[in-house]
Each structure stands twice: as structure tokens, then as C-alpha cells.
Amino acid sequence: MSHIDAALADLRSLDQLAARDTPLARIDARAKVVVTLAFIVAVVSFDRYAVAALLPLAVYPLALAILGEVPAAPILRKLLIAAPFAVMVGLFNPLLDRAPLLALGGVEIAGGWVSFASILLRFALTVSAALLLVAGTGMHALCAALGRPGVPRVFVAQLLFLYRYAFVLGGEAARMATARRLRGGGRPLSLAVYATLLGHLLLRAFDRAQRIHWAMLARGFDGELRTLHRLHWRRADTLFVAGWCAFFALARAVDLPLALGRLLTGLG
């Protein structure tokens, strides 16, 4: 299996995880979308130096992983792939913010390092929650749920097509890579040849996408996303939304690690 095929299989694994019957899959997709959006808003609303105060919010991704029975390995692999972007965002913070902010064991730590750690923690929390949402819902059901609260239909359709056509483009790239390997004998290619291959890849992907579009029109596609299973809002979904949103509000209003430390110190 080539690297492209392996990457596509890894991406497709999220939909395969969502197809199982798990406690997380039985929760209404709209409830999971609302709670995850509230979680992301709560995470990004913290002060830039917040690190310890963010830790209680890690309970939500952990709960999604447990309820969805999602293994840690695929989520960690995808986090590592996206991690360089988060590192680049906060890479210069330690250089630009050198004022001492706190001391640990007699060692002064500059504010830039604290804000850098906060950026990495926020990245890990938000991206893992989004990945677990897809792994516990499925991309098609997720897009259908986004269309119910009033998200523009064009945006929802484009989001789903972006996900689906990634496999079309990846499949064409994998076939071209296989053909190059069989005909090239493992010899390195020049930059001009790679540019030519990229042009052919775009043309082949466009032609394939056009054929798929014609097939969709022939089957009566009108822009409306339809699912085999109807969405049913139950009392458990209301409790899911209310309970998690209350927890996020509490974690945002109260520094839970600091409050717990003071409580334990007072009891001691």
C-alpha cells in the first residue's frame, strides 16, 4: 500500500468508527454539534496565559472517546499531523514575551513559554474534540445535522463535497504514483516532471468530478442532503446539551484547579 492509500484509509477510518452502534452514536447529531461548538468557544475564550484552568475541559474529549469507543491511536496520529501548524503559531512567543510570569522550583518561566503551552493545549483540546465528533457521528450525518439549525445549504453541501472529493483526488494521485513507480524504475524525477504530473492530476480529478456530478444530476440531486435515518431529539439529548454546557460555564467562571487546591489546602 502506498503512502497516499494509507493516508486515505486513515481518513476513511473515522467514518468506519462512526458506523458502529455506540452510546455516542445514539446521541442526536445536532446535540453533539451544539455541545462541541460550545466547547470550542469555551476553550478559546480563556486568557492567553491559561494552562491549568484549561485542564478540566479535557474531560469532554475524554468522555467522547469513551462513549464512542474510539481508540486513541488514530486520533493521536491526526493530532501529530496537524501539530506543526500549532507549533508555528506560537513559535515566536518565547522570543517576544520574555517577562517572568511564574516560578516553578525556583526557576522563573517567561510569559512567552506559558502562552506557547496554552496554544498547544488549546489545539489539542479543540482538534481532538472535532475529530472525535466526526468519529462518533460520521461526516454525512454531521453535515445533515448542520443543515437543520439553519446553516446555509450551499455551505453544508460544499463541506461534504470537500470531504468526499478528497478521496477522488487522492485516488487519482495514488494511481498516478503507482504508474510512475512501475514505469520509472525508482529513478528520481525532476521538478519539471513533477509539475507536469500535478497538471495531469488536476485534469484527471476534474474529469472524474464532472462525471460524478452528471451522475448525481441524473439521479435527481437537488442540493438537499438526505440521510437514511431521521434525526430524533430525545430527552437524553437535552440533558446531554444542558449538562455539558453547564460544565463549560462553570469551568470558565471558576478556576477549578485553583479552587480544588485551596479546598485541599484548607482541609489539610
The answer on 138 and 250 residing in a single domain is yes
The answer on 200 and 135 residing in a single domain is no
118 vs 120: CA distance, rounded Å: 5
5 vs 184: CA distance, rounded Å: 19
The answer on 235 and 181 residing in a single domain is no
Q: What integer pLDDT is reported at residue 140 of this predicted model?
A: 81
Taking only the tens place, the pLDDT of each residue in 163-216 is 877 777 777 777 777 777 777 666 666 677 777 878 887 887 788 778 888 888
The answer on 207 and 88 residing in a single domain is no
User: Dihedral of CA 3/9/12/18: which sign?
Assistant: negative
Residue 265 lies in a domain: no
The answer on 64 and 129 residing in a single domain is yes
Taking only the tens place, the pLDDT of each residue in 2-55 is 566 666 677 777 777 777 888 988 898 889 999 999 999 999 999 888 888 999
The answer on 59 and 133 residing in a single domain is yes
Residue 49 lies in a domain: yes
Taking only the tens place, the pLDDT of each residue in 43-99 is 999 988 888 899 999 999 999 999 999 888 888 888 888 888 888 888 888 888 777
The answer on 214 and 109 residing in a single domain is no
Cell numbers at 198, concatenated: 500535478
> Is 255 a residue whose pLDDT tops 60?
yes
Residue 173: give the domain boundaries. 151-228
The answer on 178 and 56 residing in a single domain is no
Question: What is the pLDDT of the chain when averaged over all its residues?
Answer: 82
pTM of the model: 0.81
Residue 266 lies in a domain: no
* Residue labelled with grid coordinates 474534540: 129
Q: 123 versus 74: which is more confidently predicted?
A: 123
Number of domains in the chain: 2
Cell numbers at 157, concatenated: 453541501
Which one-letter amino acid corresponds to residue 20?
Answer: R
* Residue labelled with grid coordinates 434525526: 231
The answer on 162 and 131 residing in a single domain is no
